[in-house]
Amino acid sequence: MNSTTPLRPGDPSQIGDYELTARLGEGGQGSVFLAAAPSGERVAVKVLRQGLAGPEAGGVSAPGRFLRETEILRRVAPFCTAQVVESGTLDGRPYIVSEYIEGPTLQQVVDAEGPLRDTRLRRLAVGTMTALAAIHRAGVVHRDFKPSNVLLGRDGPRVIDFGIARALDAAATGSGVVGTPPYMAPEQLETATVEPPADLFAWGSTMVFAATGRPPFGMDSLPAVVNRILHREPDLGGLQGDLRELIADCLAKDPSRRPAAREALMRLLGARERPAGTDLLSAGSAVAAGGAAGPRAAPLNVPAAGEITTVPRGDGGRSPSRAWLAGGAVALALASAAMVYGLSTRGGTATAPPRTSAGPPKPVAEVTAAPASKTDDVRLPGLKTTLHENPADPVRLTTVIYTTGKESKGYLRDPASGRFESAGPFQEPLISPDGKWAAVLPWLKDSIPQPYDFIRLIERASERQFIVRLTDKRLQNFNPHWSSDSRRLLLTSFQATTEGRRPVGFAVVDVAGAKASLVTADAQGATGAPFMWAPGETTVAQYYGSGPRAGLRVFDLRGKTVRTIPGVGEAYGTEGAISPAGKSFLTTCPDAYAAMCVWDFATGRRRASFSVPKSYSTIGWFNDAHVMYRDQTKSPQQIVVVDLKGKVARVLADVPSNEVDGAPGRSTHRFTRTPRL
């Protein structure tokens, strides 16, 4: 079911003969409202942001040109489209009234359920191509075909917002580049020419997104995406058969080589000619709807704040192939119209996460044994980094993210085989200490189409997944940390400011209780430092300040400051700095250069200090007597384990120079504490 929100102050209550009852959403073009027609039927009213007041051109006013253009839209036959009912202007702002379609967008479904498979993907392809054939037959070009303009209604897919960009364009300047970069055709980018072949290119890109969770030319920086569209071949993922061939033809650089919508629809229906005695658009609509008894698209269940909901399979009963969770730890600048990629799951639909007896966390026994010396080498796919592991290690590398200015590669470890599998970009996964759960956090927040921030929980044995709504989108949540018993997740809630992100509190996700709680806290002077679990995990800690006066604050789970440890130095990074048993914490020494200090958490006294390379980055604790950091003075660089005197006990990994900070790319290595996966 489509999610609605109440009308805001300043929103109109009436437009023409239509009574506005709620908000359906808001985008770059304007706001969409749910409204009641005089007959009582529900309709969607889109009030466009672009005003039409201004000088007349050629004796025809801008509103007149808009109304003339939108009148053409009413000629589009309602085959797999949301039919336009009427259009008009309100105080110089244009609006369009269309048929109300109940159901989520393709963008939302793929984000929540993962890529579409088999019959469901085929019906989507047939339905959307039927819509384009109907749109083109009426002499209209969509101009902005993309996943968020495809609704998955109960009677099949419906295409919306066709021709609106052209109507606005004609009423304003008569020219200009309109579209969403990852779905724009080469000629659209180079000359702003938009003819029906551009819609076929956008359709091909949208189908690749539906089938793989990503557009065929990537979704990172705008220059990189544009360069791939103009000069590179598309990445079609695992698409096979005639659908792959058709999509490849639609993605031809030369628009003259792309099929027309009618020809493409006949290919999808398995005929080069119109089926005998059957109207082509009617046949396409019937296939898209799956017949009278065919399966219907499941509406997206949008949770309320702090609520958890389950995500059903999106395959109509079949188990899709595994698509590994996305990895990400370094934010990249992205153009508008970015998105967060979804993930697919196997196994049955869940009704709730398994509930366990919460109880207080059990104390963690202190471990100080020296690292085992005998190791096995493990090479990461796609990278030249080599791990040196031993089964007795108290930590295990579970996630690797490699980012450049043009792309992001993530790797997540298979719990059964121990191999690293390729993961999609732009999300941050975190494996629970017991290995039973993976939490996946979108970290390109502005690209999330939902008006709230959320985190996914994936039960790794069954591959069921759950979505927990965290906060409204005005706050952004980062830096997830599992509790030692794998029952809770801690995230830091930030508010965006002109000077960067400012922490304002933290969110606690209770897996067994199926809810998330937002706690505000006085994080004055924290300057972006995240919250982390404090010993006992009934409190949280956060670094504050800079230089010799920097310190550590401890808060209870209501956000009240209960303790301050001043003068211990700055945080070394964003990972948890407290030892596994909770007795010690790490800082950069306040009174020495290139030195690391170890402090007693109970007393605040210094336990140890030791020198580190002039160029290094700390990763965290190996066990309670050993620390891991990356020595950036070596070539290749090394991830090493050192004791609290700074003596190197073992090398954990060799990292080549082209996979480190300051080079063409950056690799981030995340270790999960055992029990083993």
Please tell me the distance from the alpha carbon of residue 311 to that of residue 441, in angstroms, as a whole number.
16
Confidence of residue 63 (pLDDT cuts 50, 70, 90): low
- The tokens of 260 are what? 């027309």
Model confidence at 59: pLDDT above 50: no
pLDDT > 70 fraction of the chain, expressed in percent and rounded = 72
Cα–Cα dist 589/497, whole Å = 30
Place of tokens 């091909």: 204
CB 612 within 8 A of CB 594: yes
Most confident of 90-104, 403-417, 580-594: 580-594
Q: Would you say residue 612 has pLDDT above 80? A: yes
- Residue 427 near residue 327 (C-beta atoms within 8 A): yes
Least confident of 317-326, 349-358, 374-383, 423-432: 317-326
pLDDT at 408: 60
Domain-wise residue ranges, the chain = 14-300, 376-673
Q: Supply the pLDDT for residue 670.
A: 64
pLDDT at 176: 43
Give the C-alpha separation, 76 to 139, whole Å. Answer: 8
Cα–Cα dist 354/364, whole Å: 24
Range in 44-58, 195-209, 493-507 with the lowest mean pLDDT:
44-58
Catalytic residues: 144
Q: Are strands 475-482 and 464-472 parallel, antiparallel or unpaired?
A: unpaired
One of 1.10.510.10, 3.40.1160.10, 3.40.50.720, 3.40.1280.10 is the CATH number of 14-300, namely 1.10.510.10
More confident residue, 505 or 301: 505
State yes or no: pLDDT of 52 exceeds 50: no
What's the pLDDT at 308? 36
Place of tokens 């030369």: 254
Query: Mean pLDDT over residues 425-434, rounded?
Result: 77
Q: How buried is residue 620: exposed, middle or buried, by Cβ count under 10 Å (0-12/13-18/19+)?
A: buried
Given a cut of 60, whether residue 543 has pLDDT beyond it is: yes
Q: How confident is the model at residue 560 (pLDDT cuts 50, 70, 90)?
A: very high
Residue 351 has a pLDDT of: 34
pLDDT over threshold 80, residue 494: yes
Distance CA 423, CA 408 (A): 10
Q: Could you tell me if 311 and 192 are in contact, meaning their C-beta atoms sit under 8 angstroms apart?
A: no
**Residue 64: per-residue pLDDT:** 57
Q: What is the model's pLDDT at position 163?
A: 73
pLDDT band at 255 (very low <50, low <70, confident <90, very high): very high
Q: Is the pLDDT of residue 475 over 60?
A: yes
Across 578-604, average pLDDT:
91
Does the pLDDT of residue 541 top 60, yes or no?
yes
Q: What is the pLDDT of residue 106?
A: 95
pLDDT digits (tens, 9 = 90+) for 146-197: 999 999 988 789 998 887 766 555 444 334 445 688 999 999 887 756 889 9
Residue 492 has pLDDT above 90, yes or no: yes
Most confident of 28-42, 270-284, 384-398: 384-398
Crossing angle of the two packed helices 261-268 and 241-250, in degrees rounded to 10: 170
> Does an H or E element contain 280, and which?
helix 280-289
Compute how many other C-beta atoms are within 10 angstroms of the C-beta atom of residue 90. 14
Say if residue 344's pLDDT is above 50: no
Coil, helix or strand at residue 179? coil
Residue 104 has pLDDT above 50, yes or no: yes
Cβ atoms of 447 and 331 within 8 Å: the answer is: no
221 pLDDT tier (thresholds 50, 70, 90): confident
105's CB contacts (< 8 A; 6+ apart) are 147, 148, 149, 150, 151, 152, 449
Highest mean pLDDT (candidates 98-107, 121-130, 294-303, 654-663):
121-130
Give the residue ranges of DSSP H helices in 58-195.
62-73, 106-113, 118-137, 164-172, 186-191
pLDDT at 433: 84
pLDDT at 251 over 70: yes
What is 376-673's CATH topology?
Neuraminidase (2.120.10)
What integer pLDDT is reported at residue 484 of this predicted model? 87
- Flag whether pLDDT at 91 surpasses 60: yes
- What is the pTM for the complete model shown? 0.52
User: CB neighbours of 224 closer than 8 A, spacing ≥ 6?
Assistant: 218, 405, 406, 407
Q: Give CA–CA dist 130/78, Å, rounded.
A: 10
177 or 130: whose pLDDT is higher?
130
Name the pLDDT band for 668 (thresholds 50, 70, 90).
low
Output 617 or 75, whichever has higher pLDDT.
617
Q: What is the mean pLDDT of residues 441-456?
A: 74
The pLDDT of residue 529: 85
Q: Residue 424 pLDDT more than 50?
A: yes
Mean pLDDT estimate for the chain: 77
Greater confidence (673 vs 99) lies with 99
Q: If you average pLDDT over residues 260-277, what whole number do you get?
A: 74
Q: Which of 42-56, 341-355, 500-514, 600-614 has the lowest mean pLDDT?
A: 341-355
* Two domains, one topology: 14-300 and 376-673: no
